[in-house]
Amino acid sequence: MERLRHFIKDRRGSFTLEASIMFPILLILTILFIFFSLIIYEKVTLQYKANQIASRMAQTWSSSTMDWETGKMGKSDYVTKNGDGLYWRLTSNNYFDKFGFNLGDSGTVKRKKERAGKYSENITFDNGFFVQKINVSLEKKLALPQVLQKAFRINSVGASASHPIVEQTELIRNTDFIIYGWGKLQEYGGKYLNIFNKNKGE
């Protein structure tokens, strides 16, 4: 019994025992934290890239020849020489998507998406009835050891972003058209309503 008490109180070899148990645990935890930080970093950078692509494409959607990164255009691009045509919003902008008919991307939409280079396949255009949006989905494989991929069950990270398309020129034109149309509807609608009520009274 006395020997046991002496053994417990004796501190010789305690550092070796702690080093053989604690240091490997701390090392493994440190390595796992580093890999976890790398995964978070890849996720954040990929999300930033997706947001950047969606924003730039939405801001330059009005022209197929506009530089999607800087927004610059040549002098001839301000007219119909850019290949889009005068009425591209009606004929070449996936117009029927507004009514639920998904007929695939038109040539103009493909040209606009191809400006993004290698990211063109990750871009989709949603031509809603009220809101037009650019959707971007990115995926990147992680350079992790096979053991960690199986342990965390993750071998890639993904990111998605969407940005509404706001064209000031089209917005002003549509607003003017609605105001003009509403005025004409009130003008002629009142006349036809009076005629209808008059005939009904007779």
Q: How far apart are CA 57 and CA 71, in angstroms?
A: 10
Sign of CA dihedral 10, 11, 13, 19: positive
pLDDT score recorded for residue 49: 95
Mean pLDDT of 121-135: 86
Scan for tokens 């020489």, then name that residue. Answer: 81
Helix (H) or strand (E) holding 135: strand 132-141
pLDDT value at 78 more than 70: no
Average pLDDT for the chain: 79
Is the Cβ–Cβ distance between 104 and 123 less than 8 Å?
A: no
Scan for tokens 């999300």, then name that residue. Answer: 47
Which residue range forms the structural domain that includes residue 79?
1-167
Q: Write the DSSP symbol of residue 60.
A: T
Is residue 42 domain-resident? yes
Is residue 23 domain-resident? yes
Is residue 120 domain-resident? yes
Per-residue pLDDT band at 134 (split at 50, 70, 90): very high
Is residue 15 domain-resident? yes
Is the Cβ–Cβ distance between 165 and 132 less than 8 Å?
A: yes
SS3 78: helix
Mean pLDDT of 98-109: 65
Backbone angles phi, psi at 18, to 5 degrees: -65, -40
Is residue 41 domain-resident? yes
- Say what the pTM is: 0.70
63 to 97, 105, 114, 134, 167: CA distances (angstroms) = 20, 16, 12, 14, 11
Is residue 198 domain-resident? no
- How many helices, marked H, and strands, marked E, lie in the chain? 6, 3
Strand partners, 157: 140
Looking at the structure of the chain, the number of domains it has is: 1
pLDDT score recorded for residue 18: 66
Least trusted range by pLDDT, from 11-25, 39-53, 133-147, 181-195: 11-25
Is residue 175 domain-resident? no
Is residue 179 domain-resident? no
